[in-house]
Structure 1
Amino acid sequence: MLNQETIDIIKSTVPVLEQHGTDITKAFYKRMFKMHPELKNVFNQTNQKKNRQQEALANVVYHAAKHIDELHTLAGVVEGIAHKHRSIGIRPDQYPIVGENLLAAIKEVLGEAATDEIINAWAEAYGELAKIFIGEENALREGIKERGGWDDYKPFIVARKVPESEVITSFYLKPQDGRPLPTYSPGQYLSVRVQPTEQANTQIRQYSLSDAYSPEYYRISVKREAGREGLPDGIVSTYLHHEIQEGDCVWVSAPAGEFTLNLESKKPIVLISGGVGLTPLTSMAKTWKQQGAIQNLTWIHAAINGSVHALKEEMRTLDKENDTFKCYTVYERPTEEDRENKAFDKEGYIDLLWLKQVLDTKEAEFYFCGPEPFMKAIYNCLLKWGVQESSIHFEFFGPSMALEEEVTA
């Protein structure tokens, strides 16, 4: 437990972290990768180039300082990060490395303002935070083992590779050892580790499981990421699409993630997806069917048009076979073929007025996932409608962003 003096010192640094937090985390990652280049095999270097990881860490450090006297309020944040750490293979013995470089980065950025008193207080606070994360991650490892899972990574064979749209392909992964796979919660993801051609470091990416549970295989559905914002095409997604073939081996960690479908709630379920954000929601919808759940389920999917709408036949099959399932499709720019086939329910974007027309009630459990602008728009719609915060569930692909603060400002 931290004493009151340490808590007061940490809280006094909140305004500084608000102003210089991202500068500190940029210096931290630069320093850590220089001192420990082997960690480039663990951390997503694309997120580093986009500064997304630096911003996400700065946000965590800021909120940890702000709530240092009530760390229990960060439970949700801790859970999400712990799942990611366990999934990519962060180990307890790496926490001192992080602490050493974080404190050095604070000194580097703040200069003389980073007094010995402040550095010592942050060293103590970091030690407490590290204990919390290590404890949570160890508990997750034990839970995986109890369900017949594995620690670290194990080899999987690509049993099938199925194109789902112009940009999304599904990979059916079977364990090389042939053992039955542990169960997972719908909405969870896998970490996939590969060594793409001409890459100096191994690359790890998270991909949502996109099917209901089977003891024989896991399925992920991967979007081939086109380069934008001055960045090249997605390293791993391009490698999986173009180079990995049926029969090849990839290394996979056990399922992880806290964005999961709660079938214990009696409320109706509403799934809202944008683009490749449909992957975890496909797992949710198919699990709902597999388990014979009693809640009504409505699935709304938004895509540019039918050519990039993946897994739509699975969605339509659920619609045909279940009286308590409804699906709606929104195309931003439908093709002539989409129009001829009457393949969509709305042109343009999902908005609150239309949501109120197609949904019977706002008293439901809402799950949504998709690109960042889509996420902000849906979140804002739900808040304006008066949906309870406790009934709003979402996941970002990549480091978490502050949805709540940005859309309600």
Structure 2
Amino acid sequence: MISDTSRGVVAATLPVVGEHIEEIARRFYRRLFSEHPDLMDGVFNRGNQVHGHQQQALAGSVAVFATALLETPERVPEQLLQRIAHKHASLGVRADQYQVVHDHLMWAIGDVLDDAVTDEVAAAWDEVYWLMANALINQERGLYSARGVRPETVWRDWRVVRRIKESDEVVTLVVRRVDDRLVKASLPGQYVTVRMRMPDGTLQPRQYSLTRADDGEHRQFSVKRVRGAGGDPDGEMSTLLHDSVKVGDVLTLSVPYGDVVLDDSRPVVFACAGIGIAPMAGMLSHLVAAESALSVTVLHADHDEASFPLRRQVVNDVLALRNARMYLWYENGSRSLEPVDGVFEGLMDPGAVEPAQDAVYYLCGPLPFMQSVRGRLLDAGVAARDIRYEVFGPDLWQADLD
């Protein structure tokens, strides 16, 4: 809880900080990497830096946290902190790195706002930062402890034993452990961070959802090829995994993390588009392994049947479950050779399917898709607390805060 002294200062300065927060974030990252280039080598996704996504996410998170301290001082934005903490844990972020971030962020605030940052203002925002940082440090400490790892030991080598071409744009990689250490099972819906050396020598991390339940020896994840648009380059990690990684190669993966995991105590509805099927495939695989009788409804949208990633695995898992249904929406027609419960042409309309009572909804896919589906669900009377979503990359939506 923020002190009474700082509360008034933050309330008075939040509008001007909020107005300039994205510029503050840009200058912060520029100076951070200039002074600590090692942080770009294995910790930060430089693709997100190029597109500005990381800057926007940082700016939004700080502004939201400060606002919560003022408006709901009795509770912090738990979903926001959980999402960040899981990302950080999957990257092996250390507690001491928060001091480095603090120093450069406070510098950036002063550099942008100049004379407006008095000693009193600096002290108030310093308090905001450490309230947020310490909350994250505590959560991350718990996440490391639960997995029996330390920040430097979240990583482990795995050997590629199978490549599956799911579609022209998606490849699935199956990896097997190369040592005798115990494999702690992932939770349904979680992801791993893959770390690889890029052609220029820089180590880069990317997160990928686990698309099949662990069996004690293997893990499976699927990668969509990232195509550059508007002159942007293609995704460097996805290009390597598609074009260069072969059976027998060794990859470095983190232990699994992720806060969007399956609640199997209630009926579930999975609504996804494109590669957004990935975490849903992992959840379905866990349900099959558990021989679950849970009521499951899968709603999936894609361009057409050929572009539907993990289609064979997902359909087989739906058929294997005792109480599961599946409906498809294809932009380019309404034909399917799969034994599903319904196929529609056009964009997904969850209202076309009778929902299970008291269901939890899981969304994943492009942001406009999730915004549209979530809006329709809310209009239909589904409570916001019953709609959960997974974002690939920094969360620029933060719909959990609605």
Contact 1:153 1:253 in 2 (8 A): yes
Q: Distance in 1 between matches of 2:211 and 2:400?
A: 30
The 1:149/1:27 distance shift into structure 2, 3 A limit, reads: closer
Matched residue, 1:307: 306
| 1:122 alignment partner, one of 125, 150, 166 | 125
SS in structure 1 of the partner of residue 158 of structure 2: strand
SS in structure 2 of the partner of residue 162 of structure 1: strand
Residue deviations 1:47-84 (CA, integer Å, cap 9, x gap) = 11111111111111101211225273311111111111
In the alignment, structure 1 residue 36 sits paired with structure 2 residue 45: no
Deviation at 1:362, TM superposition (A): 5.6
Residue deviations 1:74-103 (CA, integer Å, cap 9, x gap) = 111111111111111211111110000000
Q: How does 1:342-381 map to 2 (within 5 A)?
A: 345-351=343-349, 355-361=350-356, 363-381=358-376
Deviation at 1:275, TM superposition (A): 0.4
Q: How does 1:315-330 map to 2 (within 5 A)?
A: 315-330=314-329
Q: Distance in 2 between matches of 1:361 and 1:339?
A: 24
Q: Distance in 2 between matches of 1:325 and 1:363?
A: 16
Contact 1:159 1:174 in 2 (8 A): yes
Amino acid at match of 2:385: S
Q: How does 1:140-219 map to 2 (within 5 A)?
A: 140-145=143-148, 151-197=153-199, 199-219=200-220
Amino acid at match of 1:280: P
In the alignment, structure 1 residue 82 sits paired with structure 2 residue 85: yes
The 1:201/1:71 distance shift into structure 2, 3 A limit, reads: farther
- Consecutive unaligned residues of structure 1, counting only runs of 5 or more, are none
Contact 1:10 1:118 in 2 (8 A): yes
Q: Distance in 2 between matches of 1:71 and 1:204?
A: 36
Residue deviations 1:110-160 (CA, integer Å, cap 9, x gap) = 1111112111222233223222111111111000018x9983312111111
Q: Distance in 1 between matches of 2:100 and 2:219?
A: 34
SS in structure 1 of the partner of residue 206 of structure 2: strand
Amino acid at match of 2:195: R
- Please tell me the root mean square deviation across aligned C-alpha atoms, in Å: 2.2
How does the TM-score come out when normalised to structure 2? 0.93
Q: Distance in 1 between matches of 2:337 and 2:256?
A: 41
| 1:398 alignment partner, one of 383, 390, 393 | 393
Deviation at 1:8, TM superposition (A): 1.9
SS in structure 1 of the partner of residue 110 of structure 2: helix
Matched residue, 1:287: 286
Amino acid at match of 1:313: R
- Consecutive unaligned residues of structure 2, counting only runs of 5 or more, are none
The 1:403/1:93 distance shift into structure 2, 3 A limit, reads: closer
Contact 2:186 2:213 in 1 (8 A): no
Amino acid at match of 2:370: M
Q: Distance in 2 between matches of 1:369 and 1:341?
A: 22
Q: Distance in 2 between matches of 1:108 and 1:239?
A: 39
Amino acid at match of 2:331: E
Deviation at 1:307, TM superposition (A): 1.8
Q: How does 1:52-131 map to 2 (within 5 A)?
A: 52-69=53-70, 70=73, 72-131=75-134
The number of residue pairs the alignment matches comes to 398
Identity %: 32
Residue deviations 1:9-49 (CA, integer Å, cap 9, x gap) = 12222211321111111111011011111111211111111
Q: Distance in 2 between matches of 1:211 and 1:144?
A: 19
Matched residue, 1:8: 8
Q: Distance in 2 between matches of 1:400 and 1:332?
A: 26
How does the TM-score come out when normalised to structure 1? 0.92
Deviation at 1:375, TM superposition (A): 1.1
Amino acid at match of 2:368: P
Contact 2:69 2:76 in 1 (8 A): no
